């Protein structure tokens, strides 16, 4: 499956949820579908999307947090999985798009191209719900289940190593930062 198709398939469910993406293709493709003020594109911080999502989930237990990550990013910070498991925020869904490459920086293969199993690693780290999916139908079903489970989930979606022509968003980093901060503050006062 293609990452863009997977994002499109769950896009309607992202409204009202706090969404954090890793840099590169994931951020660019999500923004291409349509930016929302509850989306934060974590640029220039590879490996830290799950950490940022964890901090938000712990500080906002009243809100569901979705993190869209990549295999290269997760492999860069495997300790993030043990930290997720340690704190086990029940309001966090961690989606890892695994294209078996560092697509945004030249397409170099990652360890998943030779068999490393990210869902297995997450489970071994203590994440209570993990799953690997390979089709849009499997992805949407697993994503729905993860949202309904209200427990920490790492969902690994195997995707094709294709992406957008440019790996940046056209939203400035500062604009995204301030808009997202306002969203978090306003959503605290209205709930």
Per domain, the residue ranges of the chain are 3-189
The whole-model pTM stands at 0.94
Residue 97: in which H helix or E strand, if any?
strand 92-98
Instruction: Specify the pLDDT at position 149.
Output: 98
Contact 53, 82 (CB under 8 A): no
Could you report the per-residue pLDDT of 87-96, keeping only the tens digit for each? 999 999 999 9
Instruction: Specify the pLDDT at position 135.
Output: 98
Q: Distance between CA atoms of 112 and 190, rounded to whole angstroms? A: 42
Q: Distance between CA atoms of 60 and 184, rounded to whole angstroms? A: 9
Fold of 3-189: Rossmann fold (3.40.50)
Instruction: Specify the pLDDT at position 190.
Output: 55
160 φ, ψ to 5°?
-70, 150
- In which residue ranges of the chain is pLDDT below 50? none
């Amino acid at each position: 499956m293609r990452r863009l198709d997977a994002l499109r398939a769950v896009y309607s469910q992202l409204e009202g949820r706090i969404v954090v993406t890793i840099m590169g293709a994931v951020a660019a493709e999500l923004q291409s579908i349509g930016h929302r003020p509850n989306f934060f594109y974590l640029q220039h911080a590879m490996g830290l999307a799950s950490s940022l999502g964890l901090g938000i989930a712990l500080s906002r237990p009243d809100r569901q947090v979705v993190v869209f990550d990549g295999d290269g990013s997760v492999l860069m910070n495997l300790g993030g999985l043990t930290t997720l498991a340690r704190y086990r925020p029940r309001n966090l869904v961690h989606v890892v798009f695994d294209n078996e490459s560092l697509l945004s920086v030249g397409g170099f293969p990652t360890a998943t191209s030779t068999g490393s199993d990210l869902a297995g690693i997450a489970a071994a780290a203590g994440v209570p719900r993990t799953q690997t999916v390979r089709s849009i139908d499997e992805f949407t079903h697993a994503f729905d289940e993860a949202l309904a489970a209200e427990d920490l989930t790492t969902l690994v979606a195997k995707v094709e190593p294709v992406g957008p022509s440019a790996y940046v968003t056209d939203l400035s980093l500062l604009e995204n930062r301030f808009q997202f901060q306002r969203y978090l503050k306003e959503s605290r006062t209205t709930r």
